[in-house]
C-alpha cells in the first residue's frame, strides 16, 4: 500500500520549493531594477516591486486572447521552468533529481523557450516573429559552448547526475578551483548572460527596436504568467551555474549537523545565486546590445572554441 503520509510530505515539499522559487524570482526582479537604477545614479523602485507588478498584472480586468495556443503558451512556459527547477539540486537538497539528470535539465531548459515561441507565433504580430527568431538563434548560439563545458565536466567527474556532482564538490572542492574549469566557468557565465537575456544579449526582447519582441501582444494575466516564467528562469539558470561550479551552496553536511545544515546551506545557496545574478546585472548595466549575428559570432568563435579546447584537454585525460 502506498504510504499516504510520505506522499503528502513529498507533495508539500514540492509545493514549498515552487513557492520559494517564485518568491526568490520576484525578489530578483526588484533587485535587478534597483541595482540598475543605482548604477544609473537613480533611486530606483522599491526592492519588492516585482511582487507588486505580478499582482497588478493578475488583477487586470480584461484579457485579450489570440486563440487557445496563445492562452496555453504562457502556462506551458511556467510549467516547463517549474519542472526544471524541481529537477535541480537546490543547496544539496534533491527532490526529483535522479541519475542522468544533467541531460534532462538541458532538455527541460529548452521547453519553456519553445512555449514562449508558440505563444508569440500565435499572436501573429510581425515584431513577435522577429523576436522569436532571434531568441531561437541565440539559444542555438549559447547552447553549444554550454553543452561542451558540461560534457567536459561529466567526463572529468565521471557522472551524469547533478546531485552526485554537487556531492563531489562538498568540502569546498568546488569545480571553479580546478584551473581548467575556472576557464569553463567563465565560458558558462558568458552563456548564462545569453540565457538570462541580459545585455549585450537582450536581442530577442529589444524594447526600443522591436517593441519587446515575443511579448509584444502579451498583456494582463498572460504577461503576468510570462513574467513568472522569466523570474523563475533567473533562479533556475543561476542555480544551474552554482550547482555546476560553486558546489551548489553546500557547506555543512546534513548527516553531521541536522536541520541547521539545511538552513545554512539554503542561505549560502541564496547568497551565491544572488552573486551570480549580480555579476550578470553589472555587465547588463554598462553594455549596449549586440546584433544577432554578432552574438552568434561571439558564442561560436570565442566561447565555443575555448570550450572545445577544454573538452579536448579533459578528454585526453591530462592531469590538471
Q: Which parts of this chain interact with another protein (CB under 8 A)?
A: 33, 37, 40-46, 49, 52-53, 55-56, 59-64, 207-208, 211-212, 215-220, 223
Tell me how far, at minimum, the Cβ of 119 lies from another protein, in Å: 13
Nearer to another protein, 211 or 254 (CB): 211
C-alpha distances in Å from residue 143, one per residue of 185, 211, 245: 14, 26, 17
Buried b (16+ CB within 10 A) or exposed e, 68-100: eebbebbebbbbbbbbbbbbbbbbbbbeebeee
Nearer to another protein, 156 or 222 (CB): 222
Q: Assess contact for 75 and 224: CB atoms under 8 A.
A: no
Nearer to another protein, 150 or 223 (CB): 223
Task: Taking the CA atoms of 129, 133, 138 and 144 in sequence, report the sign of the dihedral they define.
Answer: positive
Tell me how far, at minimum, the Cβ of 223 lies from another protein, in Å: 6
* Closest residue by Cα to residue 197 from 210, 208, 206, 188: 206
Tell me how far, at minimum, the Cβ of 260 lies from another protein, in Å: 36
Residue that the C-alpha cell 516591486 belongs to: 49
Nearer to another protein, 49 or 265 (CB): 49
Tell me how far, at minimum, the Cβ of 239 lies from another protein, in Å: 27
Grid coordinates representing 2? 502506498
Tell me how far, at minimum, the Cβ of 206 lies from another protein, in Å: 9
Nearer to another protein, 70 or 87 (CB): 70
Amino acid at each position: 500500500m502506498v504510504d499516504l503520509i510520505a506522499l503528502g510530505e513529498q507533495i508539500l515539499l514540492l509545493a514549498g520549493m515552487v513557492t520559494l522559487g517564485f518568491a526568490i524570482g520576484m525578489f530578483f526582479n526588484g533587485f535587478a531594477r534597483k541595482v540598475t537604477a543605482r548604477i544609473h545614479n537613480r533611486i530606483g523602485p522599491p526592492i519588492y516591486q516585482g511582487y507588486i507588478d505580478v499582482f497588478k498584472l493578475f488583477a487586470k480586468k480584461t484579457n485579450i486572447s489570440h486563440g487557445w495556443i496563445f492562452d496555453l503558451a504562457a502556462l506551458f512556459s511556467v510549467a516547463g521552468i517549474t519542472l526544471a527547477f524541481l529537477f535541480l539540486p537546490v543547496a544539496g537538497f534533491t527532490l526529483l533529481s535522479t541519475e542522468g539528470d544533467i541531460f534532462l535539465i538541458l532538455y527541460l531548459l529548452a521547453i519553456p523557450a519553445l512555449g514562449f515561441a508558440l505563444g508569440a507565433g500565435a499572436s501573429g504580430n510581425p515584431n513577435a516573429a522577429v523576436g522569436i527568431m532571434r531568441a531561437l538563434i541565440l539559444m542555438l548560439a549559447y547552447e553549444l559552448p554550454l553543452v561542451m563545458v558540461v560534457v567536459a565536466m561529466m567526463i572529468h567527474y565521471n557522472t551524469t547526475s547533478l546531485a552526485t556532482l554537487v556531492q563531489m564538490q562538498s568540502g569546498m572542492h568546488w569545480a571553479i578551483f580546478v584551473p581548467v574549469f575556472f576557464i569553463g566557468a567563465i565560458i558558462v557565465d558568458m552563456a548564462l548572460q545569453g540565457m538570462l537575456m541580459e545585455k549585450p544579449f537582450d536581442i530577442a526582447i529589444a524594447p526600443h527596436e522591436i517593441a519587446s519582441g515575443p511579448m509584444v501582444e502579451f498583456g494582463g494575466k498572460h504577461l503576468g504568467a510570462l513574467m513568472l516564467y522569466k523570474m523563475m528562469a533567473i533562479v533556475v539558470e543561476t542555480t544551474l551555474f552554482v550547482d555546476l561550479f560553486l558546489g551548489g551552496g553546500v557547506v555543512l553536511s546534513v548527516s553531521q549537523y541536522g536541520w541547521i545544515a539545511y538552513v545554512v546551506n539554503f542561505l549560502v545557496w541564496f547568497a551565491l545565486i544572488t552573486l551570480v545574478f549580480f555579476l550578470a546585472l553589472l555587465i547588463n548595466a554598462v553594455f549596449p546590445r549586440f546584433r544577432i549575428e554578432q552574438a552568434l559570432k561571439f558564442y561560436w568563435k570565442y566561447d565555443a572554441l575555448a570550450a572545445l579546447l577544454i573538452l579536448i584537454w579533459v578528454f585526453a585525460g591530462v592531469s590538471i
